[in-house]
Structure 1
Amino acid sequence: MTVTARSKYSTGAMIFHWVIAAAVITNWRLVEAAEHASKVDEAYWMGHHKALGITILALTLGRLAWRLTHPIPPISTAVPQWQRVLARTTHILFYVLLIGLPLGGWLAGSYFDRGVDIWGLFTAPALPVGSSSEMGKTIIGFHKTGGEILIYLIALHILGALKHTFWDKDGTLFKMLPFGKVKG
């Protein structure tokens, strides 16, 4: 395969990728700050966590729409089949978690009759599910577990990109960057 424009992701895909990546890491740090804060400060940090979660949901839906309408670079046939399957599975799991986690957090808050204030700009209203603190707590438990899985998945994704770029020397990382060369 020769290096062509198709060997890299589109500029839009790159922007979505890096903005969502930064938002997810920031959101993880926000919830960590909330867990170690006083009750008053916890509400402050969680308010930002929830608002950023809804923003991540919107960005992910935008990225998914972009992904469905713009071709992605193929995985090299030199990559073993099991690694190609792992890469595709990881990307599918990212979409599931990047959509499911914000929806789950919003749903859990809805069981406590709470909408999500988006930085004072507007409020995403509570979903029409009724009140049930037990159900809200259960969903928050799943939400936390999903968040932990997402962090491990990010680590796997980073390790895979670094392995391919620096060990295999195929330039995989540069598929998602506007600079650098992808080896054909």
Structure 2
Amino acid sequence: MNDPVARRYSAGAMLFHWAIAIAVIWNWRLAENAHHAGDKLQAAAIMGNHKALGITILALTVGRLFWRWTHPTPPLPATLAPWEAKLARGLHILFYVLLIGLPLGGWLANSLSGREIDFFGLFTIPALPVGENKDLGHTIFEAHHTAGSIFIYLIGLHILGALKHTFFDRNGGIFRMLPFGKVPG
């Protein structure tokens, strides 16, 4: 496999990856800003955007999974140690679990609290038909917050791994997910 394009992700995969990455980081910052907002009304407005962006992340992730199932992904670099390959695969699976589970958990917690989700003022996403249980909703919100924090640390690990592979191992690392840069054969 000497074709350098075959060692890169497809343009669609790159687009999904970076759109989701930006949305996740932005959504984390929204949640942090809401937590530190000056009053409840301001916090609620910020959280409204957080929830709508969470639904967007869910939709993008479903699109990314469909793309992944219909377009081949490049093989991992042959220079990876077996433990690195296992860690990479496991982390990617965990990312998909969190990218689907966090928005669904937030939607479920909202639904249990009797709330719909306003999608950036364009339309309303109805509550799931689960009935109202504010205590359970609160518990799920707490789990959502904890999982979101863990997700941010895992993203940091992912970035460190990409940088290690790019600048220390020199195996293409981050350039596999960018349309430029050298991906060695």
TM-score, with structure 1 as normaliser: 0.98
Shift of 1:77: 2.2
Structure 2: runs of 5+ lacking an equivalent:
none
- The 5 A counterparts of 1:23-172 are 23-37=23-37, 38-172=39-173
Partner SS, residue 130 of structure 1: coil
Tell me what 2:180 maps to.
Answer: 179
**CA apart distance, 1:6:** 1.1
CA positional deviation for 1:168: 0.6
The whole-number CA distance in structure 2 between the counterparts of 1:176 and 1:169 is: 14
What is the Cα deviation at residue 78 of structure 1? 1.9
Distance 1:73 1:102 in 2: 28
Q: Given that residues 3 and 183 in structure 1 are in contact (C-alpha distance below 8 angstroms), is that contact kept between their aligned partners in structure 2? A: no
Q: CA RMSD in A?
A: 0.8
1:87 deviates by: 0.2
User: Match for 1:179: what amino acid?
Assistant: F
Aligned-pair identity (%):
63
Deviations 1:41-61 (Å, cap 9, x if unpaired)?
Answer: 001100000000000000000
Kept in 1: contact 2:165–2:174 (CA 8 A) = yes
Query: 2:163, 2:124 → 1: CA distance?
Result: 40
* Distance of 2:79 and 2:99 partners within structure 1: 30
> What SS does the aligned partner of 2:130 have?
coil
Rounded to whole Å, the distance in 2 between the matches of 1:122 and 1:161 is: 38
Aligned mates of 1:152, 1:167 — CA distance in 2: 21
Decide whether the 8 Å contact of 2:4 with 2:184 is kept in 1.
no
Equivalent-residue separation in structure 2 for 1:40 and 1:126 (angstroms)? 21
TM-score by length of 2: 0.97
